[in-house]
Amino acid sequence: MPELPEVETVRRDLQAHLVGRTIESVSIGREDILRSTDCARLVAALTGHEVLSVGRLGKNLIVELSGDTVVLVNLGMTGQFFVCEACAEIDEHAHLVAELSDGMRLVFRDIRRFGHIELARAQSVGESFTLRNVGVDAMSDEFTAERLEEMLAGRSALLKNALLDQRRVAGLGNIYVCEALFRARISAVARCGELAPEEVQRLHRAIREVLRESIAAEGTTISDYVTGRGVPGSFQERLRVYGREGERCRRHGCTGTITRIVQSNRPTFHCPECQSSGGMNRGESY
């Protein structure tokens, strides 16, 4: 579920509502969500410590605590990480609950448990399990059109797969890759190496634009995602292709129909009519 805009929304909420608070107590319901640590060590690292900052790299949250410790959180598909009133209801999917010095509560909840929490030393976060394979963040200044061009140059891989690969550009998931390709009018079946420089520029702009707009809307809620305050986002209303199979293409002047295909076992939504760039010379049009 959570891609860059959702994780950035959570980060902003936690930056506002967690930083400066001290964690007074922690209870962990399931040890299998922990990486590179165990209940006892995580409880010790959190209890009595102040939250100094909440950062993000790609889809990962980086919570810096007093005591030279960093807690890394990846939300997987259904993970939620939010601050709520201490009286709010807690169910069996809340795997970590921390009481805060201001009387609020921090909850990590994850139905499918694809998410995880890792404990790392502040000076070696880069070598952590969670961050060691993460590339340049899609919203950072280092992610330029030139950088994107380098990533794609000469490669035969499916463009969509390359954009989903967190080791290259970090933060995009299935929804925003579909949306960015649509906005850039690039074929959903294009290969990395066949994009013209101008198409790479367009793709770069489209990626930044869709991520920025979604962050402004506090992310996309399809089923489980909530912000760091526990409420849904609203960008689902503004998706142009994702989940819109069978609908008329929303591009002005295009009479195409949004189509769902499967690539690498994951659904791709696109308009075969107006997403044509990058796929012109492959003889795959019909």
Partner DNA sequence: CGGACAACCTGGTTGC
Partner DNA sequence: TGCAACCAGGTTGTCC
Check binding of 197 to DNA (CB under 7 A).
no
Contact of 278 with 187, CB cutoff 8 Å: yes
Q: Of the listed 266, 267, 282, 284, which one is catalytic?
A: 266
Stretch that binds DNA, among 73-81, 138-146, 206-214, 250-258 (CB under 7 A): 73-81
- Minimum CB separation of residue 205 from DNA in Å reads 21
Amino acid, res. 222: I
| Of positions 2, 135, 228, 272, contacts DNA by CB under 7 A | 2
Q: By C-beta, is 253 or 283 nearer to DNA?
A: 283
Check binding of 264 to DNA (CB under 7 A).
yes
Q: Which of residues 105-144 bind DNA (CB under 7 A)?
A: 111-114, 129-130, 133
| Of positions 248, 266, 280, 282, contacts DNA by CB under 7 A | 266
Q: What is the DSSP string of 206-238?
A: HHHHHHHHHHHTT---SSS---TTS---SGGGG
| Of positions 225, 228, 258, 271, contacts DNA by CB under 7 A | 225
Check binding of 240 to DNA (CB under 7 A).
no
Q: Could you tell me where the DSSP H helices lie in 90-196?
A: 145-152, 159-164, 174-183
CA distance 180 to 211: 9
Rg (CA), the chain: 20
Looking at residue 239, the DSSP 8-state letter turns out to be -
Where do the DSSP E strands lie in the chain?
A: 23-28, 34-35, 51-57, 60-65, 69-74, 79-85, 94-100, 104-110, 116-121, 136-137, 169-170, 259-263, 266-270
CA distance 128 to 69: 12
Total of chain residues touching DNA, rule CB under 7 A: 42
| Of positions 16, 86, 88, 157, contacts DNA by CB under 7 A | 157
Binding site for DNA (CB under 7 A): 1-3, 6, 32, 58-59, 74, 76-77, 93, 111-114, 129-130, 133, 155-158, 161, 164, 166, 173-175, 191-192, 219-225, 263-267
Catalytic residues: 2-3, 59, 266
